[in-house]
Amino acid sequence: MKIGENIRAFREAQGKSAEMLATTLNIGIEEYLNIENEVTDITVKQLKTISNVLSVSIIDLIDAEERFGQIKNYFYNHSGNSSTNIHTQGIDQEEIRKGYKELYAEELNRIPKLEKLLRENNIAFNF
């Protein structure tokens, strides 16, 4: 696959429109479609922007090899194994945020229920 084809495949897999990417790149739809159709070369700046919007690495856009719909973790060691940053790629970041918000809300609702159960059963607890 070529870069333009990879971009189109990732974009379509995520249900994003060509118009949205064109707007994000601050170019016209025709110019954007020329990138996907390999008529126009893509700049490094455009490639970086597209990779951010699609939540995939630039490497995935260059060399996709059937990677659609996967979750990947990239580990970057910045200070001798003392810390690691995890970048989840391949899925919509808004969906991840929504999922975390839902989990957090559920946990907040669970705490009072657990405290009530502890009190009802005379179990001491400290926070």
Can you give the residue ranges of every domain in the chain?
1-91, 92-127
> Does residue 73 have a pLDDT over 60?
no
**Do residues 18 and 36 lie in contact, with contact meaning Cβ atoms separated by under 8 Å?**
yes
Is 1.10.260.40 the CATH number for 1-91? yes
Please list the alpha-helical segments (H only) found in 1-127. Answer: 3-13, 18-25, 29-36, 44-54, 58-62, 93-120
Distance, CA of 57 to CA of 50 (rounded, Å):
9
| 103-125 mean pLDDT | 88
- Window from 12-26, 81-95, 97-111 with minimum mean pLDDT: 81-95
- Tens of pLDDT, residue by residue over 29-41, are 999 999 999 999 9
pTM of the model: 0.54
Token pair of 3 as six digits: 């870069």
Q: Report helix, strand or coil for 83.
A: coil
CA distances from 15 to 9, 26, 71, 81, 85 (A): 10, 20, 17, 37, 28
